[in-house]
Structure 1
Amino acid sequence: MRVWPRSIRGRMLALSVLAGGVALILAAIATTGILTRVVTEGIDRRLDAQIALLASSVTADGMIDASRLAVVRPALEAGPGWDWRIATPGGITASDRFMLAPDDAPAPRHDRARTRHGRRPGGAPIHAREVTLATGGGRVVLSAAAPRGIVERPIRDAVTPLLTLLGALIALLAVTAVIQVLYGLRPLRTIERAIAAVRDGRADAVPEDQPAELRPLAQELNALVRANGAALAAARQSAANLAHALKTPVAALALELRDDPPRARLVDRIDATLRHHLARARDRVVGRRPHTDIAEAAGALAATLRKLSGGRVAIDTVIAPGLDAAIEPSDFDELLGNLLDNAVRHAAGRVSVRAQAIAGGVRLCVEDDGPGIAPDARERALTPGVRLDERGDGHGFGLAIVRELSDLYGGRMDLATGAAGGLLVTVILPRI
């Protein structure tokens, strides 16, 4: 199971959420710690002041000055739960009973206060301060205690709204991060659309007026487009030169074989192929987007092959009118002509041609009710010159040409078994 997002946008948003969560936790810990220390120090100072009053009622020989204690006692009783205790060698005088938890820490030096914790008889926790005095009559321990809630309540009252404010601030920062990510990644979307326009022939280059970080990418993409264009032009020119060079020998061969009709037809086919490739090279115009009306072209080819089959095979076409594909008409005729020729030769009696628009392209399906091609033999059937069925007058180039033309226009071709058990050929072509 993948937890980390695959997209840059998702990763940036995930990092923002993670950073916000960590920041909120750290802020809560730090704020609670600081407030605890501040509040505790304030309570400790108040308890230390009470201990100082208690110390003023202890004589030098470790006895309690009752008159002095009576004077300071009103200042010691700050409210419910505020208690005090004087433990002398002669006994204990206290405002109420409370117990302090055992403390394993080393005893501090005399006259130095330390923090203790304990509980009242009812179990309520307390926070206490304790001082040990050295007197002539022995050791005297002075303790002052306050309810633990006195420390916890201010912290809770202060931390709750503060964390709420921090949470709202982090939520605002998260929304800001979303807007920042969407705006910051917009140039990538612009480059994506520009590349699609170049691929579809609606533009010649990717605009290089991009943010500084993406300008080198746009420049490299344009360099790649120019290099591919030059290579394609060179390949087309080479094909045109080859076709032109073969025209004269083929014409001479046609004259020699004009009295041999079967061979003359083969020469005519070679001559037609040469003329087709020459026409393709001449018709290439920079910026021109090729297109073909599939319904019109398929209807004409289907009518021709019905006649050539002598009515033996019924060819059904189901194509919406006006459906265009981004392919030269001559190339589409060659592509569909090879598919129909192959289907008619192997069909038992029916061939269907269907085409429909899909996302970003056109799906063309040609299906027959013949024996089909076994899955383990389909790749071999796409090899130029290979014939799986030696019957008939095929040359083994039809499916290979279809795949070559599909790849040439950025599409693809798949072989499968149709509903009638015959071969189902699916070709995906780009749309206008």
Structure 2
Amino acid sequence: MSRRSLRLRMLLLSVLATLAALALAGWTMAGVLGRVVTGGIDQRLDSQLAVLASVVRDDGSVDRKRLSALQGSLAAGPGWRWRIAGPAGTIGSSDFPELRARLPLPPGADALPPVPLDGEDRRGHVHARRLVLESAAGPVTLTAAAPGRVIGQPVRDALVPLATVILLLAVIFALSAWLQLRFALRPLAALVGQIAELRRGARATVEEAQPQELQPLADELNALAAANAATLAAARQSAANLAHALKTPVATLALTVTPGSPEEAQVHRIEGVIRHTLARARAAAVNRRASTPVAGIAADVADVIGRLRPAIATHRIVPDDIRVAIDAQDLAEMLGNLLDNAARHARTTVRVTAAYAAPGEVQVTIEDDGHGIPADRREQVLQPGVRLDEGPAGDGFGLAIVRDLIALYGGRMSLGESAMGGLSVALHCPGGGA
């Protein structure tokens, strides 16, 4: 997927959003877990403060005998400390660190329930609780402290599996997003394929049943295809009408002039201008996206020729799956000209064959068993109005029209000798796909 891919953009956005959500969830859970663990430690420290408070007499002195009896409940492990500071002095752990309140305390805050404190020693963070008692001799400050590891270690132990779960969730969500995009964008990929078939002429419209988001696009594409088809049909009809309207008068005029006369030159000039104008008109109207089966058109044209010339047998060897990128009307006109020409010059038989000559190229061949055309005269008969026979039928424009028409589609026409002895005309047509 390139950086211009919508799928890549949507996948990246989904992955980033998922990672951000999981990171926020992990941070929130870590904070909640830290507060839970800290709350448990605070309860334990408050219990120690209660023990210390129980050994302080009303006059502020410490009942050392009772303190000794309760000493075991204050020894929670390495790093746990306690201290009693009153008018009579200070007793407790010798290495008590300097502590500070997490937030500035307002005046008189020491008289409130236990206040949380924090500090640092050589082992690291220290968390403590402080309680101030009032006595006859003055205030007595009780402090119980715990090493920071008793808070940090459980949090870290819980965060390792939590981070693993978050990572697995990120992978699952990313894979899920990729699968969703893959399946969600399938209709768009199918629509692209249908548009490609529409361009090649393999279909006339895209499928109308589309997802809700693609339905307006499909409707507009079908409307555009219909409008283009209507415009193309109108242009082709105009070109065809002009061709038929001018073909007969020019051919008739060419037959009435004296060969080599100035009038013949003027007729050829008129004919050249007409052919040039018609070629431009038909080139603009050529349907290059067509995909026409040759067999059906050949059968229809052969049937018409057979009725006009019942003495001539027309054999067709045209597989049903062969298609050419030529409009059906133009293919019918080319085959009609060639089959009519072959039937007029054949003795008994005309043959039409079609086969794939190369990838993307179809060769349609029309042969007859007539006298044929000498090799040195074949180029001459391709000139408009030129005929080698003196019969009344034909105007000499058939082969020239076919040559010009096939050229508009990027193909070509070649003349040769038929295996049956007559003329062989091969149309090298662009393939029309399946």
- 1:324 counterpart (340, 347, 360): 360
Corresponding position of 2:369? none
Q: Aligned partners of 1:135 and 1:326: how far apart in 2? A: 113
Amino acid at match of 2:32: I
State whether residues 232 and 287 of structure 2, in contact with CA within 8 Å, keep that contact through their aligned partners in structure 1: no
Question: Structure 1 residues 327, 138: closer, same or farther in 2, change over 3 A?
Answer: farther
Corresponding position of 1:290? 324
State whether residues 17 and 174 of structure 1, in contact with CA within 8 Å, keep that contact through their aligned partners in structure 2: yes
- Note the C-alpha offset of 1:150: 0.3
Corresponding position of 2:157? 157
- Note the C-alpha offset of 1:242: 2.7
Amino acid at match of 2:360: D
Corresponding position of 2:232? 232
Structure 1 residues not aligned, in runs of 5+: 293-319, 330-400, 410-428
Corresponding position of 1:60? 58
Question: Structure 1 residues 214, 275: closer, same or farther in 2, change over 3 A?
Answer: closer
Corresponding position of 1:418? none
Corresponding position of 2:304? none
Percent sequence identity over aligned pairs? 41
String of CA shifts for 1:162-202, please: whole Å, max 9, x gaps.
11101101101111111110111001111111111111111
Question: Structure 1 residues 109, 96: closer, same or farther in 2, change over 3 A?
Answer: closer
Q: Aligned partners of 1:142 and 1:278: how far apart in 2? A: 106
- Note the C-alpha offset of 1:7: 2.0
Corresponding position of 2:118? 117
- Please give the root-mean-square deviation of Cα atoms over the aligned residues, in Å: 3.8
SS in 1 for 2:210: coil
TM-score, normalisation: structure 1: 0.63
SS in 1 for 2:60: coil
TM-score, normalisation: structure 2: 0.63
Corresponding position of 1:423? none
Q: Aligned partners of 2:115 and 2:269: how far apart in 1? A: 112
State whether residues 243 and 278 of structure 1, in contact with CA within 8 Å, keep that contact through their aligned partners in structure 2: no
- Note the C-alpha offset of 1:272: 5.0
Matched ranges for 1:7-406 at <5 A: 7-103=5-101, 104-107=104-107, 108-120=109-121, 122-247=122-247, 250-251=250-251, 254=254, 255=256, 259-260=261-262, 261-270=264-273, 288=292, 290-291=324-325, 322-324=358-360
String of CA shifts for 1:223-272, please: whole Å, max 9, x gaps.
21111101100111122223333345534654457522544433343465
State whether residues 100 and 116 of structure 1, in contact with CA within 8 Å, keep that contact through their aligned partners in structure 2: no
Q: Aligned partners of 1:279 and 1:46: how far apart in 2? A: 97
Amino acid at match of 1:199: R
Q: Aligned partners of 2:49 and 2:363: how far apart in 1? A: 98
SS in 2 for 1:99: coil
Amino acid at match of 2:119: G
Say which one has the larger Rg. Answer: 2
Amino acid at match of 1:232: L
Question: Structure 1 residues 430, 175: closer, same or farther in 2, change over 3 A?
Answer: farther
Q: Aligned partners of 2:141 and 2:80: how far apart in 1? A: 17
Q: Aligned partners of 2:289 and 2:64: how far apart in 1? A: 116
Amino acid at match of 2:39: E
Question: Structure 1 residues 184, 166: closer, same or farther in 2, change over 3 A?
Answer: same
State whether residues 257 and 263 of structure 1, in contact with CA within 8 Å, keep that contact through their aligned partners in structure 2: no
String of CA shifts for 1:96-154, please: whole Å, max 9, x gaps.
3212234443351415211111234x353211111111111011110001110000000
Which structure exhibits the higher relative contact order, with contacts defined as CA atoms closer than 8 Å and separated by 6 or more residues? 2
